[in-house]
Amino acid sequence: MTLEEIRHEIDSLDNQLLTLLNRRMEWVHKVGELKRATKTVIYRPEREKAILDRVKSQNKGPLTADAIEAIYLEIFAAARNIELPERIAYLGPEGSFTHQAAESRFGAMSEYMTLPTIKSVFEAVDTGRAKFGVIPIENNQEGIVYETVDLLNETGVNIAAELKIPVHFALATEAENPSKIKRIYSKDIAFRQCRGFLNKYFEQTQPEEIQVESTSKAAKLAAEDPESAAICSVIAARLFSLPVLFDNIEDNGNNRTRFFILAKDFVNQPSENDKTTLIARLPDTDKPGVLAGFLQDFKRLNINLTKIESRPYKGSEDFNFWFFIELEGYFKDENVQKVFKKHRNYIKWLGSYVKNA
């Protein structure tokens, strides 16, 4: 076949895809009408996960599973905007990894609020100014974000979903050669996580390392300074039209950050692979065996705890603590309910949601 004939076939397939996508959106519109009539929430992570699992299992290639997920997440986002447009708040600035996480789940079409602090994202969701909020909860290299944990304890906001994204840094610059770079802008954590790359590529020239408040700010400054570079995300480099000289420069390729999607009065339907997060405010934590006895209740019922973090009571003179706990299972599962009922005066349920691998 000639190139023109191949392009004609691709155009024909595009037309078929467009027809099928519009037919899908017509059915989505009907779903939206039913949900509005019954006041049901639009975003259903467990339903989206079931669709993704189904289409991935039917895939015979050459599309990869990651490519299918990226395509369908955009379809889901477009569908939600047809059902009911919703505002998403996230921890800024624009071009941050949290921005990348928000777009990976809600797509490029959604309406976004860029907010300066984790607390402001919680407030936007709590007051209804945003339907959902996206904030970091932990990084597998740096540990947990305690501000997020504390605000989950202090507010009435729920966890609707979790997502994990790989953290990849790029060296973005207008310079065509590393030897011409005299300054590198980035956040302190990015410098730490890319130290091996910096030592290897800049051992001779030793450019000045300038710490700024975010990798997005670094990209903005580097775009204005032709003798500089930024260590930033690819999305931040793209935002400021800054060419990427090297990609994936982090020392550890397994660097991942987990995010929570926040919502108000949100309850997921159970899936076959759920996780539950809760706060335990146990009495008399200064006495021997209080925490151990509480944890034994989970063990006896064969409930697997995946995380426990202790946090101090603010304003207390004594050294008393409450606990942030995650476990495998849905909060209405029979065994989980047994623990909840036994300790109902001390447990605050934060959310049950599909586990993100």
Residues 158 and 59 occupy one common structural domain: yes
Which CATH number is 194's domain given? 3.40.190.10
Q: What is the pTM of this model?
A: 0.80
Number of structural domains (the chain) is 3
Burial 111-148 (b: 16+ CB within 10 A, else e): ebbbbeebbbbbbbbbeeebbbbbbbbbbebeebbeeb
Residues 336 and 236 occupy one common structural domain: no
Of 214, 174, 173, residue with least CA distance to 191: 214
CA dihedral 269, 270, 275, 278 (to 10 degrees): 60
Residues 160 and 204 occupy one common structural domain: no
Per-residue pLDDT of the chain (357 residues; tens, 9 = 90+): 898 889 999 999 999 999 999 999 888 888 877 777 776 766 788 888 888 989 999 999 899 988 898 888 888 878 877 766 678 999 988 888 899 899 888 877 788 999 999 999 999 999 999 999 999 999 988 889 999 999 999 999 999 999 999 889 999 999 989 999 999 999 988 999 999 999 999 988 999 999 998 899 999 999 999 999 999 999 899 999 999 999 999 998 888 999 999 999 999 999 889 999 999 999 877 778 888 999 999 999 999 999 999 998 876 667 778 999 999 999 999 999 999 999 999 999 999 999 986
pLDDT for residue 316: 67
Residues 61 and 155 occupy one common structural domain: yes
Residues 46 and 75 occupy one common structural domain: yes
Enumerate the β-bridge partners of residue 112.
Answer: 88
CA end-to-end span of the chain:
43
From start to end of the chain, where are the E strands? 87-91, 111-115, 132-139, 143-144, 157-166, 170-173, 183-186, 208-211, 228-232, 244-246, 256-264, 274-280, 305-312, 321-328, 347-354
Burial of 80 (0-12, 13-18, 19+ CB in 10 A): buried
Residues 117 and 220 occupy one common structural domain: no
Residue type, 42: I
- 24 located within any domain: no
Instruction: State the angle between helix axes of 65-83 and 3-38 in degrees (0 to 180), rounded to the nearest 10.
Output: 50
- 133 located within any domain: yes
Residues 238 and 330 occupy one common structural domain: no
Which CATH number is 315's domain given? 3.30.70.260
- 324 located within any domain: yes
- 12 located within any domain: no
How far is it, in rounded angstroms, from Cα 111 to Cα 84? 11
Q: What is the pLDDT of residues 319-348, one digit of tens each?
A: 778 999 999 999 999 999 999 999 999 999
- 325 located within any domain: yes
Residues 193 and 291 occupy one common structural domain: no
Residues 175 and 162 occupy one common structural domain: no
Residues 283 and 238 occupy one common structural domain: no
- 297 located within any domain: yes
Residues 234 and 279 occupy one common structural domain: no
Domain housing 129: 41-167+256-263
- 192 located within any domain: yes
Residues 48 and 124 occupy one common structural domain: yes
Q: Is the dihedral of CA 212, 217, 223, 225 positive or negative?
A: negative
- 9 located within any domain: no
Cβ atoms within 10 A of the Cβ of 331, count?
20
